[in-house]
Amino acid sequence: MTRIRKWLLLVACCLLVVTGMFMYRWLQQETLSDAEISAIVMERFDPNEMESFTYKGDEHVYQLTFLKGSGEYELTLDATSGSIQSLQLLNQRETPLSEKEIEAILLEAYPEQGIEISNMNLQDNRYYVDYSVDGRTGEVEVDAVTGHIIRTSLEEEQAILSPDQAIEIALSEIPGTVEDVEQETRNNRLVYEVELEDTGRDDDALVIIDAYTGEIISVIWD
């Protein structure tokens, strides 16, 4: 009986020694660096499809969070071998509408105003759109996923000059006889067109005036 106990004790000691040696060698394995982990990831995934990376490493695993397409993923790799242990989808992002789709939504929402879009900026799933209409500027905030118009602002409407005021401005620039005056829209801008003859030249003059500010935009001789 004593001999059996001695053998059992000897076997147990041997197992402990072998286990200890394996544990020691495992603990002594060198952990891969961030650069090595990054190289492994780039080799297995298309870096052009990955928007950003966040590393979190310890002695045993590396956890890599990245954005790809419409999802946020968490990748877990063995810290010593670089082998992939798991890949999980954390969050599913909804794809925003394109600028052309947003423009179509706005033109449909304001069909009679003839808005002209000058700038469009996407931020935090919101489109901020600068536009102009009848010489006034404004901004529209649109949900980038649903296309819902959240907010719109437009400069307060200015008083439009009267035809007589437009004629007075035209004659102060070019003396002559008024043949006609009309209100028109040119390049999304409300204007007066004042036709003058007997200007002292062989040609008649067409004076184009901003209907809000009275600015003489151009003079066309004909």
- The rounded distance, in Å, linking the Cα atoms of 68 and 46 is 10
Compute the Cα dihedral for 96, 101, 102, 108 and give only its sign: negative
Q: Would you say residue 175 has pLDDT above 80?
A: yes
Domain 99-154 shares a fold with domain 163-221: yes
**31-93: CATH, from 3.30.479.30, 3.10.450.40, 3.60.150.10, 3.90.230.10:** 3.10.450.40
Q: Would you say residue 208 has pLDDT above 90?
A: yes
Concatenated DSSP letters of 140-186: EEEETTT--EEEEEEPPPPPPPPHHHHHHHHHHHS-SEEEEEEEEEE
Q: Would you say residue 67 has pLDDT above 90?
A: no
Banded pLDDT at 217 (limits 50, 70, 90) = very high
Specify whether the CB–CB gap between 87 and 72 falls below 8 A: no
**pLDDT tens-place string over residues 45-59:** 765 555 455 556 565
Q: Would you say residue 151 has pLDDT above 50?
A: yes
Supply the pLDDT for residue 54.
Answer: 57
Per the model's pLDDT, the better-predicted residue between 78 and 168 turns out to be: 168
Residues 6+ apart with CB under 8 A from 106: 115, 117, 129, 131, 140, 142, 149
Q: Would you say residue 71 has pLDDT above 70?
A: no
**163-221: CATH, from 3.40.190.10, 3.30.50.10, 3.10.450.40, 3.30.460.10:** 3.10.450.40
- The rounded distance, in Å, linking the Cα atoms of 97 and 41 is 30
Mean pLDDT, to the nearest integer, of 121-136? 83
